[in-house]
Amino acid sequence: MSVPARLRCALAQLNLVVGDVDGNTSRIVAAANRARDELGAQVVLCPELAVSGYPPEDLLFHAGMRTQVARSLERLKREVHGITLVVGYPEYADHTIYNAAAVIRNGVLVGNHRKTCLPNYRVFDEKRYFTPGGESTVVELEGVRVGILVCEDVWDPAPAAAARAAGAEVLLAINASPYEMGKQAQRETEVARRRVAENGLPLVFLNLIGGQDELVFDGQSFVMNAAGEVTLRAPAYVEGLYAVDLDRDAGGSVRPRPGDLTPLTGEEESVYGALVLGVRDYVDKHRFPGVVLGLSGGIDSALTLCIAVDALGAARVHSVAMPSRYTSQMSKDDAALQARILGVKHSEISIEGMFAATLEALKHEFAGHPPDTAEENIQSRCRGVLLMGISNKTGRMLLTTGNKSEMAVGYATLYGDMAGGFAPIKDCSKLLVYRLAAWRNARGAVIPQRVIDRPPSAELRPDQKDTDSLPPYEILDPILEAFIEEDLSVDQIAARGFDRVTVGRVLDMVKRNEYKRRQAPPGVRVSGRAFGRDWRYPITSGYQTR
């Protein structure tokens, strides 16, 4: 057999839609045809579970999904020719489902790898759906023996070692690896480099992109040579086809030829990109015409407005200021100024009449009770009524503007500022919000500087400041991160230099407010542990945080 000097492989970094089997199949066929015709590729990789979208969750149990997947595979065999396709799909075998990668060449299934390692932690619950595969899959493509891996298979040493033992000369891994801060460096340095060093084989790592509910898949597909050097890296958050040439050297080893190497971005830029893509895909995949949000003149809503405009364009965004008797003129002016800078439709609707009427209606019920958070929450709920009314009338989805620090300790109002369909900065701490606002302003001053500089306030009573109810965010956020992301106890957090009473109070607030978080809208996950699918604390609990 004559061995080619080169195997050209195309990485199809695709943005797919969960459950849209027919649409996803069309995207896969189009990508394969482009890879063959425009790049001259001999093999094209498509992401993990590309046919169904990732994660398909309980859609996998529907009989219709099984039928559609079978139809998709037949279509791929029929319509993809002149190039080998490696594509992820849910494989149904009697009463068992596998997370599989099909290798299709000119209408024939020449290989099929069943994912060996099924993640069942944080946002993953694949053991609920899939049965693990038990064998390695090595397929000869144009004279090169490739070992096929699916996502978590790369994170465990056994599947790559088994592929090497079965004769693989290069590892091809298809992935649906969601974004979180620092994830790309972890993929490359802590995972890929170890597998490469252990086996002495180059690795081609293809990743999904796109927003799916709380998850964002960032792409950043890459190729690593046998020396542990990244020779190609695709950009984050960009759909596209990226080619790598795998050359056989004089000694017979397969080596990836250097390609385009997109630099890794800083943390603020990568987080902001995830938020923008998450909002865009949530809105567009649900076919909303646009969004509406309350613009208070504070930092959280200011950042949310920037994200919405960058995601959707100014014409699809409507901001609404809703002042009360406690709203400062500065807040009204700054909200109007930012709306003008960004070019969005902006309305100002006073809630004073609604608030006064509600207080009048409740005066007998409230008689004998001093003003407290009840009156504050009424203002927030008046605003929720207005925003939801606009949303219902226009069809635009309501974005909520709360951050992770507030959600953690319950500094938010059910059916008020928590009302809405999506929460872009739900997983961003207050300190991260400030960093993101500064980063965005450095690329064009779109947030009035005094919005960033002024002390944060809900403006629901005279001279209110967040620090009236909460520790300063410089103290609060590290405590929350230690508890939420590291699962540390009161004593362990206090040992880091925090006041033990303050730590206990903060952790008690987190515990008491689980019932609010269960009713909050989904939002983009950017941290190692977000409220949502990877936070599963009981609402009713006798656990003592101390």
In the annotation, is 345 catalytic? no
CA distances for 214 relative to 79, 281, 520, 530, angstroms: 33, 11, 12, 9
Report CA-CA distances (Å) from 289 to 52, 138, 282, 316. Answer: 25, 47, 12, 7
> Does the annotation count 48 as an active-site position?
yes
What are the Cα distances from residue 204, in Å, to 9, 103, 249, 254? 9, 15, 18, 12
Secondary structure string (H, E, C) spanning 428-495: CCHHHHHHHHHHHHHCCCCCCHHHHHCCCCCCCCCCCCHHHCCCCHHHHHHHHHHHHCCCCCHHHHHC
Choose among 475, 147, 459: nearest CA to 300: 459
- Of 9, 151, 306, 428, which one is the catalytic site residue? 151
Active site residue 151: yes
Is residue 508 a contact partner of residue 410, using CB atoms and an 8 Å limit?
A: no
Annotated catalytic residue: which of 9, 48, 91, 117?
A: 48
Would strands 43-45 and 84-93 be described as parallel, antiparallel, or unpaired?
parallel
Angle at the Cα of 87 from the Cα atoms of 109 and 205, rounded to 5 degrees: 130
Q: How many CA atoms lie within 13 A of 325 on its CB side?
A: 11
Which candidate in 9, 46, 115, 188 is catalytic?
A: 115
Give the pairing type, strands 317-321 and 291-294. Answer: parallel
What is the set of active-site residues?
A: 48, 115, 151
